[in-house]
């Protein structure tokens, strides 16, 4: 009826509980002959160790918490779901599973994590959507709950994190456009203050500067909220300027899509590169900077599980991964 236990296997193989356990966890301690006998019994009964009992005994659930957040209403399908899948896949390799939970806000998230951790349901948590000054890392650190953050807060020397090199992404976009012959390259981002947005702006500015193209580009740095409408509007502003740009680097695919809409409506000539390589980018033939999300997933799990016992514990707390530019028609040289 009920799934077989070690005891059942032991009885079938004519040995004791612990010997069965040893066959699974420390085979070298068991005489090959006995081991074979136990293994056939396991096979025949289709025995699988009960994870719950293991968790209780070992005081570790091998579960990682993850807050699934509602989609941002205006976003074109964020990279959130790609990340989630990458995380699950990476967890599988490390024999960890994800436990999903919901929360109303960052405070609530910390509270829920604490509850789950206290209850033994999760060993740690992966944080997504880190903002500068995010209350979650300090909160969890104080509660001594293991976690790893996707993104940086500005004060992240104390905890494991993984991040995309956002500046390198926009810089790569600029390089690509310069190679394509563009000299006036605008930036459309969201307002200063958001760490991610600022880094993407920095990459654009630095790359322009390296090519000596920054002078007289002040009017080409526009900001607004992350929405289609804003992208559209800012594109109007750019195109209506006496010396309009010939190319735009956008901080998100959403903004890029807005720009593209205006461009296509007005039949203007304006190369566009977005950021995140959302599914929509493919649909719109929009060049975009793609985050190496699978690598991020693996790095997050590694960072969360910490140094494997035996390795040197003084490993770096953070890891920065390079994104990749996907070139499509929206930025093809004319």
| DSSP label of 285 | T
Of 4-12, 158-166, 217-225, 305-313: span binding DNA (CB under 7 A): 4-12
Alpha-carbon span 15 to 42, nearest angstrom: 12
User: Does 57 contact DNA by CB under 7 A?
Assistant: yes
Residue placing its CB nearer to DNA in the complex, 53 or 327: 53
Residues 86-125, one symbol each (x = binds its own copies by CB under 8 A, - = not), give --xx-xx----xxxxxx------------x--xxxx----
Q: Residue from 40, 54, 107, 265 that binds DNA (CB under 7 A)?
A: 54
Alpha-carbon span 329 to 40, nearest angstrom: 60
Task: Supply 72's token pair.
Answer: 């941002």
Q: Is 87 helix (H, G, I), strand (E, B) or coil?
A: helix
Alpha-carbon span 268 to 253, nearest angstrom: 19
Q: Which residue do the tokens 């929360």 mark?
A: 103
Residue placing its CB nearer to its own copies in the complex, 17 or 118: 118
**Beta-bridge mates of residue 80:** none
User: Does 36 contact DNA by CB under 7 A?
Assistant: no
Alpha-carbon span 270 to 42, nearest angstrom: 66
User: Does 49 contact its own copies by CB under 8 A?
Assistant: yes
Interface size with DNA, residues (CB under 7 A):
31
For residues 61 and 121, the answer to whether their CB atoms sit within 8 Å is yes
Alpha-carbon span 27 to 84, nearest angstrom: 36
Q: Which residues bind DNA (CB under 7 A)?
A: 2-3, 5-7, 14-19, 21-22, 24-25, 29-31, 33-35, 47-50, 53-54, 56-59
Chain contacts with its own copies (rule: CB under 8 A):
2-3, 46, 48-53, 55-56, 59, 61, 63, 68-71, 74-77, 80-82, 84-85, 88-89, 91-92, 97-102, 115, 118-121, 228, 254, 257, 264, 278-280, 282-284
């Amino acid at each position: 009826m009920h799934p077989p236990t070690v005891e059942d296997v032991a009885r079938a193989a004519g040995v004791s509980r612990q010997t069965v356990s040893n066959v699974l966890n420390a085979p070298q301690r068991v005489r090959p002959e006995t081991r074979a006998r136990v293994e056939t019994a396991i096979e025949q009964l289709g025995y699988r160790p009960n994870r719950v009992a293991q968790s209780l005994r070992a005081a570790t659930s091998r579960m990682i918490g993850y807050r699934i957040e509602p989609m941002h209403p205006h976003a074109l399908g964020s990279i959130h779901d790609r990340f989630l899948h990458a995380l699950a896949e990476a967890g599988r390799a490390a024999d960890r599973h994800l436990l999903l939970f919901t929360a109303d806000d960052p405070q609530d998230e910390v509270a829920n994590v604490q509850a789950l951790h206290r209850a033994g349901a999760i060993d740690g948590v992966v944080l997504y959507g880190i903002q500068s000054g995010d209350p979650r890392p300090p909160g969890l650190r104080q509660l001594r709950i293991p976690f790893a953050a996707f993104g940086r807060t500005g004060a992240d020397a104390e905890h494991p994190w993984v991040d995309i090199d956002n500046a390198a992404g926009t810089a790569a976009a600029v390089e690509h456009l310069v190679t394509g012959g563009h000299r006036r390259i605008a930036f459309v981002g969201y307002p200063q203050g958001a760490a991610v947005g600022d880094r993407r702006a920095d990459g654009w500015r630095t790359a322009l500067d390296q090519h000596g193209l920054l002078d007289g580009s002040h009017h080409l740095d526009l900001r607004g909220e992350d929405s289609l409408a804003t992208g559209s509007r800012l594109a109007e502003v750019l195109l209506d300027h006496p010396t309009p740009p010939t190319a735009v680097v956008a901080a998100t695919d959403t903004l890029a899509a807005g720009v593209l809409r205006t461009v296509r409506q007005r039949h203007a000539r304006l190369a566009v590169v977005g950021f995140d390589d959302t599914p929509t980018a493919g649909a719109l033939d929009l060049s975009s900077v793609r985050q190496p999300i699978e690598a991020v997933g693996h790095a997050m799990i590694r960072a969360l599980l910490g140094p494997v016992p035996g390795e040197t514990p003084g490993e770096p707390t953070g890891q920065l991964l390079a994104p990749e530019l996907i070139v499509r028609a929206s930025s093809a040289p004319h």
